[in-house]
Amino acid sequence: MLLLMMLLLAPPAAALPGRTVESVYYRARRLFNEDVKVGAWTTAEIEELERLVETEGKNWVAIGELLNRHEHACMDKHKSLHAIAGTKKIGTRLLSLSTHSLVHSLTDS
């Protein structure tokens, strides 16, 4: 079944530069899955997503089930939130990914 879906999605993927067949497949699966919520994230959902990442780790399947969202939507939202903030969480510390901070930390050493 998955192979058949991949073959059917190959032409749309070819028409979308930078998109693999797999990315088109997962995007279509997210858009047309009527069992999970789609659309804009509320502030409450974003806060719950962050809390769940703290408690569940990056178990996107479990987080998706708890939020009634597709697991890839949860993963993508988490990535985009942290890309916007310019930070990456490592353990319990938030580290800035800005070039200025990196240069500053290297010159202080």
52's CB contacts (< 8 A; 6+ apart) are 62, 63, 66, 67
Span 77-96, average pLDDT: 64
Span 40-44, average pLDDT: 92
Residue ranges per structural domain of the chain = 1-32, 39-108
Q: From start to end of the chain, where are the E strands?
A: 87-90, 93-96
More confident residue, 109 or 73: 73
Predicted TM-score of the model (pTM)? 0.55
Q: Does domain 39-108 have CATH number 1.10.10?
A: yes
Span 11-23, average pLDDT: 72
Span 27-53, average pLDDT: 84
More confident residue, 67 or 95: 67
Span 63-75, average pLDDT: 91
